[in-house]
């Protein structure tokens, strides 16, 4: 039975890393003393070791130990033996490239189907969708495929931003970019605002957090859903 938290972000303004969601994670990871961390997305180009240390410090607050997948001679075995998995944010193309390079897409999908608790933030959430085509990141590397884990039957846009009428920015809004995606693709897209997450438990997909999410379906007007809404209808 699937058991995932798919969060828009790891950090809210002025909060520490994962602080805003630690209470939720205490319950989510209650049966997992140790968490396998996948640091492949490398935000700002930091090393795997630096990233893993940052995550370990956050999870120490709820008495969890953390080991980075790069510490395993065989990363496939690391996932197969994991009690829980966390895939952090950074660049989604870099993350996806490394997952394919290390032949981890299939083994991650199997772990998720088997009910291993999976937490994703930002890039780690992007890869839970059908593809990574709705990421906000620059394609600084070229993965073999844009196909992702397909843990949910739609795409995700973490860090979703509403248009700012006071901004001097003249580029595309997030909504415009997602509508461009729908000129060539049909899967729905969930725009996750900061501080919101999806809790997937079995066949249930529920929006959590304090903010609404914006839903984009092919050939339909975008609409808002409130926290607590089931999103199983999106296919």
| Predicted structure pTM score | 0.96
Q: What is the mean pLDDT of residues 140-147?
A: 98
User: Between vectors from CA 227 to CA 54 and to CA 16, what angle results, nearest 5°?
Assistant: 20
pLDDT of residue 163: 73
Domain ranges of the chain: 3-225
Integer Rg of the chain from CA: 17
* Three-state secondary-structure class, residue 39: coil
Catalytic residue check, 159: yes
pLDDT of 168 > 70? The answer is no
196 included as an active-site residue:
no
pLDDT at 169: 63
Mean pLDDT (the chain) is: 96
Q: What is the mean pLDDT of residues 112-125?
A: 98
Q: What pLDDT, in 10s, does the model give residues 25-80?
A: 999 999 999 999 999 999 999 999 999 999 999 999 999 999 999 999 999 999 99
DSSP code string of 168-226: ---S--HHHHHHHHTTT--S-EEEPPTTEEEEEETTEEEEEESS-EEEE-TTS--EEE-
Instruction: Name the active-site residue from 10, 70, 97, 122.
Output: 122
Q: What are phi and psi of 123, to 5 degrees?
A: -60, -35
- List the catalytic residue out of 15, 19, 34, 159: 159
Tokens of 34: 């140790």
Does residue 235 surpass a pLDDT of 90? no
CATH number of 3-225: 3.40.50.880
Does position 171 have pLDDT exceeding 90, yes or no? no
pLDDT above 90 for 167: no
Give the pLDDT confidence score for residue 151 in this predicted structure.
Answer: 98
- Local confidence band at 121 (pLDDT 50, 70, 90 cut-offs): very high
210 is annotated as an active-site residue: no
Integer Cα distance of 199 and 205 in angstroms: 6
Catalytic residue among 8, 97, 125, 137: 137
Residue 10 and residue 121 in contact, taking contact as beta carbons nearer than 8 Å = yes
């Amino acid at each position: 039975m699937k058991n995932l938290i798919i969060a828009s972000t790891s950090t809210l303004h002025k909060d520490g890393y994962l602080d805003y969601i630690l209470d939720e994670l205490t319950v989510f990871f209650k049966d997992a003393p140790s968490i396998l961390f996948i640091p492949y997305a490398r935000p700002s180009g930091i090393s795997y070791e630096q990233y893993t240390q940052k995550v370990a410090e956050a999870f120490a607050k709820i008495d969890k130990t953390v080991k980075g997948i790069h510490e395993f001679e065989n990363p496939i075995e690391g996932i197969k033996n994991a009690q829980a998995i966390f895939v952090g944010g950074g660049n989604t193309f870099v993350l996806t490239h490394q997952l394919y390079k290390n032949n981890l897409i299939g083994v991650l999908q199997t772990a998720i189907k088997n009910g291993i608790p999976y937490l994703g933030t930002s890039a780690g959430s992007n890869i839970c969708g059908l593809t990574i085509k709705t990421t906000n990141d620059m394609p600084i590397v070229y993965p073999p495929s844009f196909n992702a884990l397909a843990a949910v039957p739609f795409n995700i846009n973490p860090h979703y931003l509403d248009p700012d009428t006071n901004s001097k920015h003249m580029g595309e809004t997030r909504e415009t970019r997602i509508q461009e995606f729908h000129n060539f693709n049909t899967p729905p897209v969930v725009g996750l605002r900061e501080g919101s997450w999806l809790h997937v438990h079995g066949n249930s997909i529920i929006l959590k957090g304090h903010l609404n999410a914006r839903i984009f379906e092919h050939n339909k007007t975008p609409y808002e859903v409130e926290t607590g809404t089931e999103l199983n209808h999106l296919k």
